[in-house]
């Protein structure tokens, strides 16, 4: 595969006289793709039923004539103001019962059938208009589902759709009452039309009710996307893409992507470090202008799995953003580093957001490849360097990593619904496991929780998986390598109850969790082999061999050569010692990485990526600060 670069462009935001020169400069910079259209609805249908395609026809011609390939975005994330007159009840409603207002974007409720159909119909018309154009090679459906906290909506439309969803799932109201345990606190319903949404309750709502609502809300996103994907596919065979986000877990991306061809995500490393990562002040200060050294890679690997091997970065941070609490500029070299890191993880395309900084609207201080006065911004110089380097780089054909992690959106909803300890967070748990593997120099793959086979992985980690499906249970039983589950894996039934027999209930392993404790941040227990247990402690009973215990002898890890269960949340030192032991047992080579350095195998090449500001010497190689080094992969 030969990777390529692209950029996001908004012809409707610039005078017509700019377009030719913009397109020529994109080509001169080495960009091959341009994404357009995704917020342009009010200029394409200025009044209901009155279409103006002429300017977009013209823009497509200009970009195509310059030699660019076009990703056409459907504009359903920005319903025009007149749409509200047509559907006054289409607005999403927040948990406090307040409708979201018009005046930004993503204000629609996924359950509003009228808007869903109008958006699908607009997308179909747009596709019919441009699908024959040879330069329009890909279609992006909508923009960033879930961004701005928009998946959970407590609208009337959502309530009606939830009642229908419950009717479908449970059939009889008695079945729902039993599944949810509604005998507790006299919560029994007599009919499905009595069921409300789990907001505005006096104290916490029933976790089974919340979990059903979370599943429903995810299904609504999947159905919404499917409606539009089918509309676009009715006109074109071109690949369909959605641009996902960092650490947005409110809907099942695997299920959504089943109706798409390529997964992509929007990577804003410095913004994400500041606004969506738990880390010490020292860590954040150390990576202030680079971003966290594992956060991007985590999402690259996750979206490679979501896209069934095909994935892009649709929006790449090119300089300071505008939306985080503080918005420092990247150190020189970071735009190049982020781009190559994505390619090292298998990205087909990295596309920068955006071409020119807009001196109007909500993102005035968001950098772009050009300044508002059209002069080159620093990101453009680095993008040009990347283009030159890609031209001479051998193809990067990805291959499976030796280690995989099972990632499951449902588990994120479960532990959000019932954390039991204030510091229990599914993403944080999985991310710490991922980081520990990367610090051992390992390339990592992700698997969905319904994976049918675990081959070819020698080691598979299953942290925090709410429910072990029969499919995954069989895959584990048939797996030649080692599967390490826990903590908090197979801990709940799909209806969010504690199962009996008690967890973890693993085949051929006599382990029972007698009770669990959550611990405040200043409380930890040392492990015999090194490192500590934090946050979460499961008391393990049974006759399975003990593989690790606390200093006082209580078991914390039990298992055999094929399946093991970890009954606690370990700190980095604890994870490192256990993973070092398990990788050695499985014959997986590891490489201890210095603090800011990461490595990734990419086909015939090995990439070394230095998120630190200073050079790092590793083996016989010096990797510059904020630098990337690649070499032929040494024989292992």
Structure tokens at 333: 């070299």
Any catalytic annotation for residue 230? Answer: no
CA distance 486 to 540: 12
Among 33, 41, 180, 268, binds ligand GAL (CB under 6 A): 268
Query: Closest distance between ligand GAL and the C-beta of residue 106, in Å?
Result: 10
- 179 neighbors 492 (Cβ within 8 angstroms): no
Show the DSSP H helices in 479-621 as ranges.
Answer: 572-585
Query: Closest distance between ligand GAL and the C-beta of residue 144, in Å?
Result: 5
Structure tokens at 175: 């079945």
Query: Closest distance between ligand GAL and the C-beta of residue 77, in Å?
Result: 8
**Alpha-carbon torsion angle 523, 526, 530, 533, nearest 10:** -50
Query: Closest distance between ligand GAL and the C-beta of residue 27, in Å?
Result: 23
Q: Which one of the spans 96-104, 141-149, 460-468, 614-622 is the region binding ligand GAL (CB under 6 A)?
A: 141-149
555-584 burial: b if 16+ Cβ within 10 Å, else e: bbbbbeebbbbbbbbbbeebbbbbbbebbe
Q: Which one of the spans 119-127, 143-151, 382-390, 505-513 is the region binding ligand GAL (CB under 6 A)?
A: 143-151
Any catalytic annotation for residue 121? Answer: no
How many CB atoms sit inside 10 A of residue 300's CB? 21
Question: Which entry of 38, 45, 144, 538 is annotated as an active-site residue?
Answer: 144
Query: Closest distance between ligand GAL and the C-beta of residue 377, in Å?
Result: 14
Question: Which entry of 250, 315, 382, 548 is annotated as an active-site residue?
Answer: 315
509: left (phi over 0), alpha (psi -120 to 50) or beta: beta
Instruction: Confirm or reject binding of residue 147 to ligand GAL (CB under 6 A).
Output: yes
Specify which residues 312 forms β-bridges with. 264
Instruction: Confirm or reject binding of residue 355 to ligand GAL (CB under 6 A).
Output: no
Query: Closest distance between ligand GAL and the C-beta of residue 142, in Å?
Result: 10
Determine the angle formed by the axes of helices 156-170 and 207-233, rounding to 10 degrees.
100
Closest CB to ligand GAL among 245 and 576? 245
Query: Closest distance between ligand GAL and the C-beta of residue 304, in Å?
Result: 20
Among 353, 446, 537, 565, binds ligand GAL (CB under 6 A): 353
What's phi and psi for 223, nearest 5 deg?
-65, -40
Instruction: Confirm or reject binding of residue 266 to ligand GAL (CB under 6 A).
Output: yes
Among 252, 292, 301, 315, binds ligand GAL (CB under 6 A): 315
- CA-closest candidate to residue 567, choices 611, 518, 530: 518
Instruction: Confirm or reject binding of residue 74 to ligand GAL (CB under 6 A).
Output: no
Output 12-19 pairs: Cβ under 8 A, ≥24 positions apart: 12/40, 12/43, 12/55, 12/56, 12/59, 13/358, 13/360, 14/356, 16/55, 16/58, 18/374, 19/58, 19/59, 19/62, 19/63
Instruction: Confirm or reject binding of residue 143 to ligand GAL (CB under 6 A).
Output: yes
Identify the residue whose tokens are 């974007």.
Answer: 105
Type and span of the H or E element at 266: strand 262-267
Q: Which one of the spans 315-323, 430-438, 527-535, 601-609 is the region binding ligand GAL (CB under 6 A)?
A: 315-323
Instruction: Confirm or reject binding of residue 321 to ligand GAL (CB under 6 A).
Output: yes
Among 22, 142, 144, 294, binds ligand GAL (CB under 6 A): 144
Structure tokens at 368: 């772009």
How big is the site for ligand GAL, counted in residues (CB under 6 A)? 11
Query: Closest distance between ligand GAL and the C-beta of residue 368, in Å?
Result: 10
Closest CB to ligand GAL among 112 and 366? 366
Instruction: Confirm or reject binding of residue 329 to ligand GAL (CB under 6 A).
Output: no
CA distance 516 to 428: 19
Instruction: Confirm or reject binding of residue 272 to ligand GAL (CB under 6 A).
Output: no
User: Cα angle vertex 487, ends 486, 491, to 5°?
Assistant: 85
Instruction: Confirm or reject binding of residue 226 to ligand GAL (CB under 6 A).
Output: no
Our measurement of the distance from residue 454's CA atom to the centroid of its chain's CA atoms, rounded to an integer in Å, reads 21
Closest CB to ligand GAL among 105 and 492? 105
Q: Which one of the spans 81-89, 140-148, 175-183, 515-523 is the region binding ligand GAL (CB under 6 A)?
A: 140-148
CA distance 264 to 306: 9
Instruction: Confirm or reject binding of residue 273 to ligand GAL (CB under 6 A).
Output: no
- 4 neighbors 313 (Cβ within 8 angstroms): no
Closest CB to ligand GAL among 270 and 468? 270
Instruction: Confirm or reject binding of residue 366 to ligand GAL (CB under 6 A).
Output: yes
Query: Closest distance between ligand GAL and the C-beta of residue 321, in Å?
Result: 5
Residues at the contact surface with ligand GAL, assessed by CB under 6 A: 143-144, 147, 266, 268, 315, 321, 323, 353, 363, 366
Give me the active site residues, please: 144, 315
């Amino acid at each position: 595969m030969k990777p390529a670069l692209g950029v996001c462009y908004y012809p409707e935001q610039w005078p017509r006289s700019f377009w030719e020169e913009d397109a020529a400069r994109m080509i001169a910079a080495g960009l091959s793709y341009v994404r357009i259209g995704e917020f342009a609805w009010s200029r394409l249908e200025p009044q209901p039923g009155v279409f103006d395609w002429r300017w977009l026809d013209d823009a497509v011609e200009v970009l195509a004539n310059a030699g660019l390939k076009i990703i056409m975005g459907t504009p359903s994330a920005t319903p025009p103001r007149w749409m509200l007159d047509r559907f006054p009840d289409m607005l999403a409603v927040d948990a406090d019962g307040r409708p979201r207002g018009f005046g930004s974007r993503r204000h629609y409720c996924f359950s509003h059938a009228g808007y869903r159909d109008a958006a699908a119909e607009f997308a179909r018309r747009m596709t019919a208009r441009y699908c024959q154009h040879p330069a329009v090679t890909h279609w992006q459906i909508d923009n960033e589902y879930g961004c701005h906290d928009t998946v959970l909506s407590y609208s009337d439309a959502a309530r009606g759709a939830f009642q229908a969803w419950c009717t479908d799932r449970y059939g009889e109201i008695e079945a729902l009452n039993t599944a949810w345990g509604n005998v507790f606190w006299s919560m029994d319903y007599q009919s499905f039309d009595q069921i409300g949404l789990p907001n505005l309750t006096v104290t916490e709502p029933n976790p089974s009710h919340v979990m059903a609502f979370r599943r429903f809300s995810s299904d609504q996103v999947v159905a919404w996307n499917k409606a539009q994907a089918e509309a676009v596919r009715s006109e074109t065979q071109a690949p369909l893409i959605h641009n996902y986000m960092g650490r947005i877990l409110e809907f099942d991306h695997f299920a959504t992507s089943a109706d798409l061809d390529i997964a992509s995500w929007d990577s804003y490393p410095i913004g994400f470090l500041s606004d969506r990562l738990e880390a010490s002040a020292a860590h954040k200060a150390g990576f202030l202008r680079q971003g966290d050294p594992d956060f991007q890679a985590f999402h690259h690997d996750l979206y490679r799995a979501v896209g069934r091997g095909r994935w892009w970065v649709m929006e790449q941070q090119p300089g300071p953003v505008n939306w985080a609490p503080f918005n420092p500029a990247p150190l020189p070299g970071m735009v190049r580093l982020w781009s190559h890191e994505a390619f090292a993880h298998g990205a087909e395309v990295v596309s920068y957001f955006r071409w020119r900084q807009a001196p109007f609207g909500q993102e005035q201080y968001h950098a772009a490849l050009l300044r508002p006065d059209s002069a080159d911004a620093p990101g453009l110089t680095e993008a040009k360097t990347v283009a030159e380097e890609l031209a001479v780089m051998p193809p990067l054909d990805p291959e499976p990593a030796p280690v995989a992690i099972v990632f499951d959106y449902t588990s994120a909803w479960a532990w959000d619904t019932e954390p039991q300890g204030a510091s229990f967070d599914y993403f944080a748990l999985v991310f710490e496991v991922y980081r520990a593997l990367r610090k051992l120099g390992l390339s990592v793959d992700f698997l969905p929780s319904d994976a049918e086979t675990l081959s070819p992985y020698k080691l598979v980690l299953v942290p925090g998986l709410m429910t072990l499906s029969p499919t995954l249970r069989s895959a584990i039983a048939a797996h030649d390598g080692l599967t390490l589950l826990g903590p908090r894996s197979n801990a709940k039934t799909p209806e969010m109850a504690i199962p009996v027999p008690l967890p973890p209930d693993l085949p051929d392993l006599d382990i029972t969790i007698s009770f669990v404790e959550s611990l405040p941040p200043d409380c930890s227990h040392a492990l015999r082999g090194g490192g500590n247990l934090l946050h979460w402690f499961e008391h393990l009973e049974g006759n399975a061999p003990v593989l690790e215990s606390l200093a006082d002898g209580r078991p914390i890890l039990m298992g055999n050569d094929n399946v093991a269960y970890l009954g606690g949340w370990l700190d980095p030192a604890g994870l490192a010692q256990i993973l070092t032991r398990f990788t050695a047992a499985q014959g997986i080579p590891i490489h201890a990485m210095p603090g800011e350095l990461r490595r990734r195998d990419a086909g015939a090449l090995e990439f070394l990526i230095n998120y630190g500001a200073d050079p790092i010497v590793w083996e016989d190689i010096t990797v510059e600060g904020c630098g990337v080094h690649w070499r032929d992969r040494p024989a292992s």
